[in-house]
Amino acid sequence: MAEEVVQEIGPIDYVVVEWSGSKQPNGEALPHLIGLVERGIIRIIDFAFIMKAEDGTVAQLALDELGAEFAILDGASADLIGDSDVTEAASVLDPGSAAALLVYENAWAAQFAAALRGNGAQVVATGRIPYDEFVAALDEVEA
């Protein structure tokens, strides 16, 4: 039974989003994230909010420390993100910043991925092209 469930899972990704300096998470993007969930595009598996102090110390924030607008995420966490994951995510952050670490399933691809796995295929590489690099490549092609 567990094998059948695993076969129906889409690719799992994570993203670390940083707010530097005086900018802090304010919940403005939450409706867009919830919209992705409601449309079945992604499924939130886990998340963490992180603060990295000026001296480099790292703390994980609870939802109630972020404000009422973040309460919509209450119960969405699977508690899979551990201290070592938070430490690793914080390693890419600037001192004095806040971040969100989001682990999610690409639910839109679950059936496609299951069909590939059923046919013996496996993912051998994945990657992400940063927005700035993509725009620079487009600019170069247009030039």
What is the percentage of the chain residues whose pLDDT exceeds 70?
95
What is the three-class DSSP state of 42? coil
Across the range 111-133, mean pLDDT stands at: 88
CA-CA distance, 8 to 11, in Å (whole number)? 10
> Which of 112, 118, 85 lies closest to 11, judged by CA?
112
- DSSP annotation of 15: E
pLDDT digit string, tens, across residues 60-82: 988 888 877 888 888 888 889 99
Where are the domains positioned within the chain? 2-142
CA-CA distance, 99 to 61, in Å (whole number)? 10
Give CA separation, 83 vs 46, 51, 113, in Å.
13, 13, 30
This prediction has a pTM of 0.83
- Is the confidence at residue 125, as pLDDT, over 80? yes
Across the range 115-133, mean pLDDT stands at: 88
